[in-house]
Structure 1
């Protein structure tokens, strides 16, 4: 295992002080970089470990924050914050751009090779950065299949990979279909993987508190989704020594 260094980064976004987690690979040279957006409850240790895992593969990785350093365990409180956010593309883009600025400020980051991936709300933010015309090399979204404002997907300049559980009631087939239609109409290089038997947030380990209906961990499909994301990054932003 290569030596990864990590640090906490504070930065302003959405009217609050965000607390992100930056993971740097071994060495001193510039490397491709990845923004990692968390699920609706926010940034926790599981999300931070995703950044660490990508740094071990050679990427500069920033797991960004949604709620000013909080991880919201109460489902109703989480929805009260996240649902208005998901309805406001400009707010989502503001959160994404603030994190992107932190990533670009890191000297190890190669500014020509940046990808954005995310889960749920974080995946929706990754997509909105693409719709805002950010020069990304890849976008990956799991369970964040939001459809954007008409026509703006034409500004996406990179491949888009999306994953969703077949039994996800929060991202039902009609949501998948509208997302696919938007990507296709915009001429985007897109893929949609449906993971059989998986529900919403299938990629996140079980948590010790109440969750929304239709949320459940699926360890096998979680591993497959992670491999698919790593494959997307290897294809679009390979780590070159």
Structure 2
């Protein structure tokens, strides 16, 4: 994991679950980033409590308010990040924020639920990536290393193997139609980003964090937040341009689309 050195990282949806686990992992590294940006819908509310406690012990942790569905909120976060990273740009963007409102099946899925999940999980990921792209591009241009890596500049979209058309994981356990569709779209977004941003020095991949028991959902074969987040960092330390546009899990396995 020591091959992974990022000067700055931003993790969306990082006041709980996998996002919070990733923030902890970065802060606890022997070579932590100069800046770790953690976002929450309400940093001053109960959900921001753990982040505020972490910030007391880690001066390199900056807690930001961010609603990935709100362009004004995104623009405000970009401005705050730019104030800290200055001419160095942003090294790593981890699009982790997502929602799962209802455990739906084909019989009770609704247009509103589909729209809400798509607007958050897919459109939100797109909007955040677009907004931070200039800072990622700066980081890529300033880094002299050849090829692509997460230490140079990267966008990591946290997806799910529920979005694999071939696997259709967990179908008997939970259909969650809207969630599956939104993650399929996230994977296509990753492929498009890889084609557009890869030549500019920005690595783009989708990642399945495992079946993690979090407040968003439960599973029969739980992976802990710590196992998932540490595994993700280990994978990120080894990915190269050969992995650009790919769909990997937290153990580094390639998943089918």
Question: In proportion to residue count, which structure has more strand?
Answer: 1
Question: In proportion to residue count, which structure has more helix?
Answer: 2
Task: Report TM bin, short chain.
Answer: 0.3 to 0.5
Higher relative contact order (CA 8 A, sep 6+): 2
Q: TM-score of the superposition, structure 2-length normalised?
A: 0.44
Q: TM-score of the superposition, structure 1-length normalised?
A: 0.46
